[in-house]
Amino acid sequence: MSKKRKSLNPANSLKDSEQVLASDFIRGDDLDDLLSKLVRSVESAKASRGGLPEKIWMKQQFAIGVNDVTRVLERMPHSVTASHSTQRSSEAPTVSGRRQAPLVPLQAVLVAADCNPKWLTKHIPTLASTRQVPVLCVKDKKEGSLRLGHVVNVRTALAIGVKARDSIVNKTIDEILKDSKLVGNEVTPSPVTCLD
């Protein structure tokens, strides 16, 4: 017996994800302003990190990289508020006798639109929308992945998830989300906003 493979058409799925990602745009200097606000808030929050090494502090505040963001999003429960998800975090299941760290939900996800191939990040907006997490798509001619990496002190980052930890960084993300919701004229629980 011969097995027939489904013919996958990646061009159609990429077009669909690009249409989803291109729903809202903030253009020009707004991107520079928003990223500089985020960098300033990270720098000021580092000063009050309480003696933790920088690398550990960054991992507590951010999910860095596509794999880490995807893993945290997949562990988050579907469509529940942050207060309800923290109640579930204490009930973290154990896998093969090991105990998992408590779940810290993501407040927002920043995704670089300049990744090549595009399918590396196309699942993130869909996954985030099922968890009610807003997505900010950074689209820049000056390499958005380099600019996102600068925020978290790595060379490049295709995706960054900001963990909800009640810090200066979270307050800055709240301001950014309020501004982007006003631009779209529609307040939705999981906007996909592209910053150009």
* CA gap 64, 158 in Å, rounded: 8
- Has residue 91 been placed in a domain? no
* CA gap 175, 168 in Å, rounded: 11
β-strand partners of 111: 137, 159
Beta strands in the chain (DSSP E): 24-26, 62-64, 106-112, 135-138, 159-163, 192-195
pTM above the 0.85 mark? no
- Has residue 58 been placed in a domain? yes
What is the domain-level CATH number for residue 62?
A: 3.30.1330.30
pLDDT in tens, 155-167: 999 999 999 988 8
- Has residue 54 been placed in a domain? yes
- Domain limits at 133? 28-77+104-182
* Range from 97-111, 114-128, 139-153, 167-181 carrying the lowest mean pLDDT: 97-111
Any residues with CB less than 8 A from the CB of 22 and at least 6 apart, and which? 194
- Three-state secondary-structure class, residue 56: helix
- Has residue 17 been placed in a domain? no
How many distinct structural domains can be found in the chain?
A: 1
Q: Mean of the pLDDT values across residues 29-33?
A: 77
- Has residue 21 been placed in a domain? no
